[in-house]
Amino acid sequence: MSNKLDNSQIIHTDKIALFHRETIKKYTKNILTKNPPKIVGFLANDDPAAKSYAKWTKKACESDGIQFELKYVDKDDLETHVEDANKNDSIHGIMIYYPVFGNMKTFYGMSMDEYLRDSIHPKKDIEGLNSYYSSKLYRNIRFMDSPHNLKKLILPCTPIAVVKILEYLYQYNEPDPLLGKTITIINRSDIVGRPLAAMLANDGAVVYSIDIDSTFVVTKKKKSLSQMTVEESCKQSQIIITGVPVKSYQLPSKYIQPNTTIINVSSFKNVNIEEVLKIPNVRYVPQVGKVTVAMLERNLLRCYDNTNNK
Amino acid sequence: MSNKLDNSQIIHTDKIALFHRETIKKYTKNILTKNPPKIVGFLANDDPAAKSYAKWTKKACESDGIQFELKYVDKDDLETHVEDANKNDSIHGIMIYYPVFGNMKTFYGMSMDEYLRDSIHPKKDIEGLNSYYSSKLYRNIRFMDSPHNLKKLILPCTPIAVVKILEYLYQYNEPDPLLGKTITIINRSDIVGRPLAAMLANDGAVVYSIDIDSTFVVTKKKKSLSQMTVEESCKQSQIIITGVPVKSYQLPSKYIQPNTTIINVSSFKNVNIEEVLKIPNVRYVPQVGKVTVAMLERNLLRCYDNTNNK
């Protein structure tokens, strides 16, 4: 699990992912139905990384008792395919590998990829990226069926993976578990940084949400622009999430205080690991992908529970 | 109703507004309940135009049997006020007078005014501006309760007012009534031009949606960028909607063909009326505000029907 160097550690997340996948396996083993849980993933780009991620997700799902069909489609037919999948009762979860159209300007006043995200019906949106969910997340509404509060919101996979990793590292589960903690997140994408900032703030943290041209300070009550620099916010933070999707970016090691937990959600290394491990009591999580896939499976089972006519 | 000049006409919409308001009055007269239909309007800006529009709306509603409470609030408290109104069973419709924050950048990746629009619960959103509705409108989904299809979508007031004016002028109500028609809309705001383009395209028209930096051609099946100039699209159009919110703008009269219907949704005159009335068989609708208010009342009664525990 850990690779000790001095008193600092690299934390691998295999154990956390396995723990969640064991729960999923137990669940799927007990399903006796002609309509077993099934995901359809739509691949409409040529990105080899997306392709290998898709194949890897398929493998993980199938070994955990979840059917996974990968469909290669033309991007111009994608909306129609999604509409058909929305109506198909044998499909319980739909995902799209982004980017498809990138930031292509549309009639709708949003990017085509944002439009596609909202084309997946919320009840099958295992990535939790639909504005139906984000709108509730940003208002700290945790259930879909107020006032009954039985159906929990679907949350995006990478952010919820980070939350699960923090739960494991800090062993918390009380309300407002992050009260008193300051967290810096260097990424404000719709898929990772923005929902993650909201989730951690909803759990009590003061979050600095940083992107290339601005910093917001995010708490449960308020989200406002901040003049804080990356150096200042990192030096105040007990937890730093790095998510810069650029090979050349490196967070200066001198910004990192002793006892900091660093979680990297980028596919690039955003820190100098050797230097970081010389800082006392630093925990460094180099990647979260395995837990992300476990969370995708978990979301699928929630969608399955909510829709399947058992 | 009409002010004939040669064979061209200025069309005033009082009669159309009155027709809809009479239906509303008949409905409210038959309500026997301790929980009568009620709108709360939140005014958080200093815009005198918004204030007078609010007062005028209040007067119209009250004369039609709908309670209307106008609340002057601080813009920083607006979200809390809206949340309270969402929960208050004696309030059936909520509206906000925009702009409040204008295009102020937010943590959410949308403007604060867009965020506020989605803070009103869809079941009380009498302006129909919530993304819950626009997301369905852009996909030509006309009911909220598929597959039962008993509850029609709430649609934004100014666009639906334009549709009602066109229904009156062209005496249509079959499916795809605008098939074969070309329409130019010079405005692509979230509140008017964009939803209007979608509504007219859903009814069968080919719509050119024009704003300051681009033109989209919008049909039921496709929404794509077009290289068409304003002159070209106007010359092909049987219907032109002008909605430029700038005093200095004037659509060149030579763009307008005989037999064209022009509907102005801007608070400024966007054409030279004298010149336009010299074009054979042109119908010019100088303003739509009275029908817009009637549509607001109609939306309120739909919300009331959908929520009230009768």
The catalytic residue positions of A are 157
- What is the reported pTM? 0.91
Q: Identify whether residues B268 and B178 lie together within a single domain.
A: yes
Q: Identify whether residues B202 and B255 lie together within a single domain.
A: yes
The residues of A whose Cβ lies within 8 A of any Cβ of B are: 105-109, 115, 118-119, 131-132, 135, 138-139, 188, 190, 194, 197, 209, 214, 216, 218, 223-225
In a domain, B251, yes or no: yes
pLDDT exceeds cutoff 80 at A125: yes
Q: Identify whether residues A100 and A163 lie together within a single domain.
A: no
Average pLDDT over residues A187-200: 97
What range defines the domain where residue B235 resides? 157-290
Q: Identify whether residues B177 and B118 lie together within a single domain.
A: no
Average pLDDT over residues A83-87: 96
In a domain, A23, yes or no: no
Q: Identify whether residues A166 and A247 lie together within a single domain.
A: yes
Q: Predicted ipTM?
A: 0.88
Interface test with chain B among A107, A119, A225, by most B beta carbons within 10 Å: A107
Q: Which of A109, A119, A209 sits opposite B107 (nearest CB)?
A: A209
CA distance A106 to A251: 35
In a domain, B303, yes or no: no
Tell me whether residue B157 is one of the annotated catalytic residues.
Answer: yes
In tens, the pLDDT along B172-198 reads 878 899 999 999 999 999 999 999 999
Q: Identify whether residues B119 and B181 lie together within a single domain.
A: no
Cβ-Cβ contacts under 8 Å, A139 against chain B: 119
Q: Which residue of A has its CA nearest to B197?
A: A107
The chain-wide mean pLDDT, for chain B, equals 93
* Domain count within chain B: 2
- Residue B72: strand pairing partners: B43
Q: Identify whether residues B165 and B283 lie together within a single domain.
A: yes
Q: Identify whether residues B187 and B270 lie together within a single domain.
A: yes
In a domain, B142, yes or no: no
In a domain, A13, yes or no: no
DSSP structure class, residue A17: H
Q: Which residues contact B29 (CB under 8 A, 6 or more apart)?
A: B65
Cβ-Cβ contacts under 8 Å, A131 against chain B: 118, 131, 135
In a domain, A28, yes or no: no
Cβ-Cβ contacts under 8 Å, B133 against chain A: none
Q: Identify whether residues B115 and B167 lie together within a single domain.
A: no
Helix (H, G, I), strand (E, B) or coil at B5: strand
pLDDT exceeds cutoff 60 at B248: yes
Burial of B246 from C-beta contacts in 10 A (0-12 / 13-18 / 19+): exposed
CA distance A163 to A203: 10
Q: Given an 8 Å threshold on Cβ–Cβ distance, is A223 in contact with B107? A: yes
Q: Identify whether residues B252 and B167 lie together within a single domain.
A: yes
Q: Given an 8 Å threshold on Cβ–Cβ distance, is B138 in contact with A108? A: yes
Q: Identify whether residues B193 and B281 lie together within a single domain.
A: yes
Could you tell me the CATH number of the domain that includes residue B69?
3.40.50.10860
In a domain, A213, yes or no: yes
Query: What count of other Cβ atoms lies within 10 Å of the Cβ of residue B65?
Result: 18
The last residue of one of the domains, among B124, B148, B165, is: B124
Return the percentage of chain B with pLDDT > 90, whole number: 85
Instruction: Compute CA distances B124 → A70, A144, B121, B304, B305, whole Å.
Output: 40, 18, 5, 8, 11
pLDDT exceeds cutoff 80 at A45: yes
The residues of B whose Cβ lies within 8 A of any Cβ of A are: 105-109, 115, 118-119, 131-132, 135, 138-139, 188, 190, 194, 197, 209, 214, 216, 218, 223-225
Average pLDDT over residues B263-280: 96
Could you tell me the CATH number of the domain that includes residue B272?
3.40.50.720
Average pLDDT over residues B138-162: 91
- Give the total residue count for chain B: 310
In a domain, A192, yes or no: yes
The last residue of one of the domains, among B100, B124, B148, is: B124
Q: Which two tokens stand for residue A263?
A: 């979680």
Q: Identify whether residues A197 and A248 lie together within a single domain.
A: yes
In tens, the pLDDT along A205-263 reads 999 999 999 999 999 999 999 999 999 999 999 999 999 999 999 999 999 999 999 99
Catalytic pick among B61, B157, B234, B303: B157
Strand ranges inside chain A, DSSP E: 2-5, 8-11, 38-43, 67-72, 93-96, 182-186, 206-211, 214-218, 223-226, 239-242, 261-264, 283-285
> If you search the block for the tokens 């409210």, which residue do you land on?
B28
What pLDDT is recorded for position B6?
53
